[in-house]
Amino acid sequence: MTTTEPVTDDAREAAPGAVARLVHSPSVRLIARRLVAAVPIVLGVSILTFIVLSLIPGDAAQLLLGPEATPEQIAAMHRQMGLDQPPVQRYLGWLGGALTGDLGNSLVSGQPVTGELGSRLAVTGELVGLAFVLSLGLAIPVALLAAYKPNRLFDRVSMLVSITGLAVANYVIALLLVLVFAVQFAFFPAIGFVPIGQGIGENLRSMLLPAVSIAFPLFCFYTRFLRGDLVDQLRGEDYIVTARAKGIGPGQVLLRHAFRNSSFGLLTVVGLNLGTLIGATVIIEQIFALPGIGQLLLQAINTRDFVVVQACVVVFAVVAVLANLVTDLLYAVLDPRIRYGNR
Amino acid sequence: MSIEEVSELASPAPVYGGAEPLLEVSDLRVRFDAKGRRVNAVNGLSYHVHAGRMLAIIGESGSGKSVSSRALMGLLPPTARISGSARFLGTDLLSLSEREMRRHRGADLAMVFQDPTRSLNPTMRIGTQITEAVRAHGDVDKRAAFDRAMELLQLVRLPAPERRFYEYPHQLSGGMRQRVMIAIALAADPKLLIADEATTALDVTTQAQVMELLLELQERLGTAIIMISHDLGLAASYAHDVIVMYAGRAVEYAPASTLFSHVRMPYTRALLGAIPRLERTPHSLLPVTPGQPPDLTALPPGCPFAPRCSRAQDDCHAEPPPFAEHEPGHWWACWHPCEVGGPAEEGGR
Ligand SMILES: Nc1ncnc2c1ncn2[C@@H]1O[C@H](COP(=O)(O)OP(=O)(O)OP(=O)(O)O)[C@@H](O)[C@H]1O
Ligand code: SF4
Ligand SMILES: [Mg+2]
């Protein structure tokens, strides 16, 4: 028997060190808790999609073989696609694959869906990222200027623009942009996609119109939201009066005080948007023929390629859940009231 | 009642002591015009504050205490229409432009607000909020601003200032936050500090501590303090002079000792009488006076307190009593003042 040093409380606490601190850090706990909570959501979405897809009339084999196909040919095709198995078994088989990163093979092309999704996700990701940068990059300065002198000319004009912008659907904006910039002036390609590999300039040129179509309504929404929140802070909050009573200028009051607090509200709104934005990409990718996930989803629905549809929907669900998680985390990192816990 | 009608009430400012006052407010009027509704919040308020003294302004909710003091700081919303004058160190504060006003604000004229929880920026470190005030006036570099902030935190006796400097408001208790607010107000060594119900949101013990702190700072720095309060007891124990406000004007003004022993104005008496003598909770808000507070959108032509006054007679309803110095150092506005030593309950109905 070996003699061991008595383990003191201090030693026990010090031993796991960094790991313990990580496990006990509120942010890590938050991530863990939220990831666990996300599992049933994603699972539920996948089951629901599966059920809906089995209820939709029409099937991939029928469409592939054409109207002349005999029932025997279709049955053989079903066997080949694995569609002859009972639904529960099919779902469990799919789930097993999905957990290992294999989302199955397309019913139409026979290609693995996972690889296809990767390149598609990059395109959609770029589109959404660009739309966020454009909309926020413009909305923040415009809202700040409008709130600096509320109800003056600039404020009124920006309000008018954003109210109009909110009333117009993004696909209408897309069609208008195509008409003006691509057809009339030929500044931008009307449709098509240039990968980043072929030059970032060309890539951005092909992405700009679709990104603007998505960004414009967002810009209008963020401008209105932020301007309203800033004015509310400036008019109603006591800490603003304190700041003014110090004798600092109105610009500092706006930037250092009101904007600092309004930015948390904006962050929440942006996070919520990210989830719903996916819907917009489906239409816009279709209009501009961008090879993103939205386009893939529409094609797959048309060909009743249920494996691909299932994969797209699950990816959307995961993105929405992750977007919310990231928002909450940013909040936890940025807002001192949460960072240090409330009394 | 329009401003023009009220202006007949214009009253000379009471003068206390011999020296030139630090602040001389005369005939201050503030009204808010919003969507056809005209609120006459302050209606010809006049008073003086001398360097190194503490003046308490008391009155029930809505009597215009906050509005009148914010008017001095230029902190009212744009809907406010302000007239009158407020001479402070040779300049009329009310005639200054926003830009000129900013030079005084936080520099020789500072303010502490009621709710320290809402009055500090929740997303900014304590230290930053203080150094911001230090650097707002004068060319102070970062290092010097930090040193000054530390000095201020020690001055207001915030425990562990080095640590608190980097904390956020929600990590402090209410009393500590109010100390931080006072530190911010004192950043540029103001000559006049307006404390608008600075202790109302605090518990009794903290309230006393903060008042003691203010008194001590006043003695050390020679700052004049206007202390706005609901709390008569607080005014009696700390202030040198007391103004009682009703419906946006002064109705009684005297050194604290005189006022509380020789009440003449029935409204003041009603305030005092409404305090349950023994079991009065020290933190109670202003005691309830029977009757409705005046409607500031339609003030009566006579004495505004008449509808609630037990001493009211016909002349009270006809013409407003002038605010005048009836006894040396003791001002009041009343046609039929109470007898000194009379029953306390006779004021209100
Ligand atoms: N921005 C504003 N617009 C319209 N009316 C206002 C405005 N600010 C204050 N008032 C009105 O002016 C009157 C006086 O308000 P004030 O805040 O000075 O009262 P107060 O004596 O400080 O009361 P309290 O003890 O409740 O703080 C009130 O009737 C109030 O409703
Ligand atoms: S006695 Fe007359 S003047 Fe004096 S307070 Fe009462 S109503 Fe006003
Ligand atoms: Mg007030």
Closest chain B C-alpha to A322 CA, distance in angstroms: 26
Spatial contact of B58 and B243, defined as CB atoms under 8 Å apart: yes
The complex scores an ipTM of 0.84
Q: Tell whether ligand 1 has an atom less than 6 A from the beta carbon of residue B40.
A: no
Closest chain B C-alpha to A121 CA, distance in angstroms: 36
Task: Please answer yes or no on whether B123 and A241 come within 8 Å at the CB atom.
Answer: no
Closest chain A C-alpha to B125 CA, distance in angstroms: 9
| Residue type at B80 in one-letter notation | A
Q: What is the radius of gyration, based on Cα positions, of chain A?
A: 26
Answer yes or no: do B66 and B171 share one domain.
Answer: no
Task: Please answer yes or no on whether A242 and B132 come within 8 Å at the CB atom.
Answer: no
Q: Supply the mean pLDDT for chain A.
A: 85
pLDDT, residue A271, reads: 85
Closest chain B C-alpha to A132 CA, distance in angstroms: 25
Residue B163 vs residue A16, higher pLDDT:
B163
How many domains does chain B fold into? 2
**Distance of CA A175 to CAs A134, A171, A281, A322, Å?**
19, 6, 14, 31
Ligand of minimum distance to the alpha carbon of B305: 2
H/E segment holding residue B112: strand B109-112
**Ligand 1: nearest atom to the Cα of B245:** 21
Task: Please answer yes or no on whether B105 and A247 come within 8 Å at the CB atom.
Answer: yes
How far is Cα of residue A268 from the mean position of the Cα atoms in its chain? 13
Q: CA–CA separation, A22 vs A29, rounded Å?
A: 9
The answer to whether position B53 is within a domain reads yes
Answer yes or no: do B120 and B104 share one domain.
Answer: no
pLDDT, residue A33, reads: 84
Answer yes or no: do B159 and B280 share one domain.
Answer: no
Answer yes or no: do B96 and B196 share one domain.
Answer: yes
Question: Chunked in runs of 10, what are the mean pLDDT values of chain B (349 residues)?
Answer: 41 54 95 88 93 92 94 92 94 94 93 92 94 91 94 92 94 92 93 92 85 89 92 87 94 91 89 56 51 84 91 91 93 90 48
User: Does pLDDT of A244 surpass 50?
Assistant: yes
Answer yes or no: do B98 and B147 share one domain.
Answer: no
Residues of the domain holding B160:
112-189
The answer to whether position B54 is within a domain reads yes
Answer yes or no: do B236 and B333 share one domain.
Answer: yes
B120 contacts in chain A (CB < 8 Å): 239, 242
Q: What average pLDDT score do residues A146-161 get?
A: 94
Q: CA–CA separation, A78 vs A87, rounded Å?
A: 13
pLDDT, residue A8, reads: 42
The residues near A117 (Cβ < 8 Å, ≥ 6 apart) are A103, A293, A296, A311, A312, A315
Query: In this structure, what token pair is assigned to residue A304?
Result: 């009743």
Q: CA–CA separation, B160 vs A172, rounded Å?
A: 61
As a whole-number percent, the residues of chain A with pLDDT over 90 amount to: 36
The residues near B205 (Cβ < 8 Å, ≥ 6 apart) are none
Q: What is the radius of gyration, based on Cα positions, of chain B?
A: 20
pLDDT class of A16 with cuts at 50, 70, 90? low
* Closest chain A CA to residue B173: A343
The residues near A251 (Cβ < 8 Å, ≥ 6 apart) are A148
Comparing C-alpha atoms, which of A261, A243, A242, A264 is closest to residue A252?
A: A243
Answer yes or no: do B93 and B140 share one domain.
Answer: no
As a whole-number percent, the residues of chain A with pLDDT over 70 amount to: 92
Tell me which fold the domain A122-294+315-339 belongs to: MetI-like fold (1.10.3720)
Answer yes or no: do B122 and B101 share one domain.
Answer: no
B335 CA distance to ligand 3 middle (Å): 28
Q: What average pLDDT score do residues A216-231 get?
A: 95
Other C-beta atoms closer than 10 Å to the C-beta of B184 total 30
Comparing C-alpha atoms, which of B202, B190, B18, B14 is closest to residue B114?
A: B202
Parallel, antiparallel, or unpaired for β B241-246 and B224-229? unpaired
pLDDT class of A5 with cuts at 50, 70, 90? very low
Q: CA–CA separation, A302 vs A291, rounded Å?
A: 16
**Ligand 1: nearest atom to the Cα of B228:** 22
Mutation test of the interface with chain A: which of B104, B170, B176, B186, choosing the one with the most A Cβ atoms within 10 A?
A: B170
**Ligand 2: nearest atom to the Cα of B251:** 5
Q: CA–CA separation, B311 vs A230, rounded Å?
A: 51
Strand order of the β-sheet with B37-49 is: B37-49, B23-34, B80-88, B91-92
Quickly tell me which residue has 């080095």 as its tokens: B162
Q: CA–CA separation, B8 vs A154, rounded Å?
A: 44
Residues, CB-to-ion distance under 5 Å, ligand 3: B 66
**Distance of CA B232 to CAs A259, B34, B77, B201, B281, Å?**
40, 33, 29, 16, 12
Q: Where are the alpha helices (DSSP H) in chain B?
A: 3-6, 65-73, 98-104, 116-119, 126-136, 142-155, 161-164, 174-185, 204-221, 232-238, 256-261, 266-273, 314-318
Spatial contact of B247 and B259, defined as CB atoms under 8 Å apart: no
Residue B10 vs residue A80, higher pLDDT:
A80
User: Does pLDDT of A209 surpass 60?
Assistant: yes
Per the DSSP assignment, residues forming a β-bridge with A188 are: none
B309 CA distance to ligand 2 middle (Å): 6
The answer to whether position B211 is within a domain reads no
A33-42, A62-71, A263-272, B80-89: the lowest-pLDDT one:
A62-71
Other C-beta atoms closer than 10 Å to the C-beta of B217 total 18
Answer yes or no: do B56 and B163 share one domain.
Answer: no
pLDDT, residue B285, reads: 45
B231 CA distance to ligand 2 middle (Å): 23
The residues near B45 (Cβ < 8 Å, ≥ 6 apart) are B25, B27, B28, B29, B64, B68, B84, B245, B248, B249, B250
Q: CA–CA separation, A315 vs B11, rounded Å?
A: 76
Question: Exposed, middle or buried: residue A276 (CB in 10 Å: 0-12, 13-18, 19+)?
Answer: exposed
The answer to whether position B215 is within a domain reads no
A246 contacts in chain B (CB < 8 Å): 105-106, 132-133, 136, 184, 187
Query: In this structure, what token pair is assigned to residue B345?
Result: 């309950």
Phi, psi of B282, deg, nearest 5: -60, -20
Answer yes or no: do B294 and B157 share one domain.
Answer: no
H/E segment holding residue B58: strand B54-58
Parallel, antiparallel, or unpaired for β B324-327 and B192-196? unpaired
* Closest chain A CA to residue B114: A238
**Which residue out of B32, B73, B226 has the highest number of ligand 1 atoms within 8 Å of its CB and is therefore the one to mutate?**
B32
For residue A139, the number of C-alpha atoms closer than 13 Å in the C-beta half-sphere is: 29
Q: CA–CA separation, A285 vs A192, rounded Å?
A: 9
Answer yes or no: do B45 and B17 share one domain.
Answer: yes
Task: Please answer yes or no on whether A238 and B121 come within 8 Å at the CB atom.
Answer: no
pLDDT class of A278 with cuts at 50, 70, 90? confident
Spatial contact of B210 and B179, defined as CB atoms under 8 Å apart: yes
User: Does pLDDT of A15 surpass 50?
Assistant: no
Length of chain A: 343
pTM: predicted TM-score of the whole model, two decimal places: 0.83
Spatial contact of B106 and A247, defined as CB atoms under 8 Å apart: yes
Q: CA–CA separation, B184 vs B127, rounded Å?
A: 10
Answer yes or no: do B237 and B97 share one domain.
Answer: yes
Q: CA–CA separation, A195 vs B66, rounded Å?
A: 64
Spatial contact of B153 and A293, defined as CB atoms under 8 Å apart: no
pLDDT, residue A342, reads: 45
The residues near B121 (Cβ < 8 Å, ≥ 6 apart) are A239, A242, A243, A257, A260, A261, B129, B169
pLDDT, residue A80, reads: 81
User: Does pLDDT of A273 surpass 90?
Assistant: no
